[in-house]
Structure 1
């Protein structure tokens, strides 16, 4: 089966999401002759990439929502049988240089989270990776209350980066948004602002949405 063209409307996007709900990863991959890895050890983002392909996302690695024409980001949530998120949700990479004058309103985090198509994936350890089930996707819009919290977290952490204190940022910071290392291995390094404005080497970082937030999003949608 050929890769779908980008959806032209929200209705078309959600229709595509509904069409794949209930399928296992291997069943969906089979529709498009995609090879399924045995596990995610070296293929962390594979499920999201497959869904981007199947649903017609266009952004690839660009700092814009996955469905550019619709302004919608695609995010998967691995969940337990009880509907509990199993991990935090990666949003985008964290800029560590040239951040003077950066504003929340222009941030990639806000652009990515303004409108999201969430797709839960039943991902219990007892279920082999290829047999994990794709749940019912749903559209979600960032509300003012959560945006205020995210903005506060983002500004606090960006200030630390600007002050050369990136090494002091831990996953405990932030009510909704956290910054954590984002790299294939701990040996990966990139440039960042250090003390007195000098450039230092540190692990690449990423913004993540905490599990408490995605839990609330799921609860609000499915009334768990």
Structure 2
């Protein structure tokens, strides 16, 4: 059965000048701000924030995410904390197809490669980031320019107990392999709903981590949510 993502008709009014908004005071206020973006295009939001659109679509991912962060009042200095530290809410801006399928896996957080052998799930950045997530999707239809992409209905998600169990199992399995010096052999298909992928500007970047014979320079890795898992979140709660 085909499932089409819910998107409001094209918004006809300009959202008005915004600039970077102050941090929302409650989760309800944050959700109202996100819901107000539904139906607007990337070009309309950029104009409201007085920002120029990038000339090439290859910069679209970071640009759209930055737009939404400013419009919603995310903390640009959150670092390892959620994007809205006072609320404990992480923001994920993701491109989707009309049926609600994400175009790609969703970045969660970088992995501290040198501490993988002694990290704990309870104190992990991933657990903290995924405790409460606001997904703001934008429709990336083929041949549609970045400026014309429209924002879909936002989804506020908290993992269910079964989802938490899957996340913890994947995290412990993947971190166990990284801590045991197997990061160089981890394929993207390892993990049920999480996966690890390289996270660096280019392949020559290295960081300190664990190799088969002890400490060594390794490729930086990061955790990502699989696209099929993110799709299930959007469909169940959207």
TM bracket, shorter-chain basis = over 0.9
Q: Quick one: distance in 2 between partners of 1:31 and 1:14? A: 19
Q: Deviation per CA, 1:90-143: give whole Å up to 9, x if none.
A: 001111102343111111111111101111110122211121111111211111
Q: Which runs of 5+ in 1 are unaligned?
A: none
Query: How many pairs are equivalent?
Result: 221
* Partner residue, 1:98: 115
Q: Quick one: distance in 2 between partners of 1:93 and 1:39? A: 26
Q: Which runs of 5+ in 2 are unaligned?
A: 1-17
Of 59-68 and 141-150, the range deviating more from structure 2 = 59-68
Q: Quick one: distance in 1 between partners of 2:141 and 2:57? A: 13
TM-score, scaled to structure 2: 0.88
Tell me if the contact between 2:117 and 2:175 (Cα under 8 Å) persists in the aligned partners. Answer: no
Indicate whether 1:217 and 2:233 are aligned. Answer: yes
1:41 partner SS: helix
Q: Deviation per CA, 1:180-216: give whole Å up to 9, x if none.
A: 011222232222211221312x322110000110111
2:64 partner SS: helix
Q: How does 1:32-181 map to 2 (within 5 A)?
A: 32-42=49-59, 44-60=61-77, 62-181=79-198
Tell me if the contact between 2:19 and 2:70 (Cα under 8 Å) persists in the aligned partners. Answer: no
Tell me if the contact between 2:101 and 2:228 (Cα under 8 Å) persists in the aligned partners. Answer: no
1:134 partner SS: coil
Q: Quick one: distance in 2 between partners of 1:99 and 1:185? A: 22
Pick closer, same or farther for the CA change 1:170–1:199 going to 2, 3 Å.
same
Q: Quick one: distance in 1 between partners of 2:226 and 2:156? A: 19
Query: RMSD value over aligned CA atoms?
Result: 1.5
1:126 partner SS: coil
Tell me if the contact between 1:59 and 1:68 (Cα under 8 Å) persists in the aligned partners. Answer: no
2:35 to 5, 12, 18: 18
Indicate whether 1:9 and 2:34 are aligned. Answer: no
* Partner residue, 2:224: 208
2:113 partner SS: coil
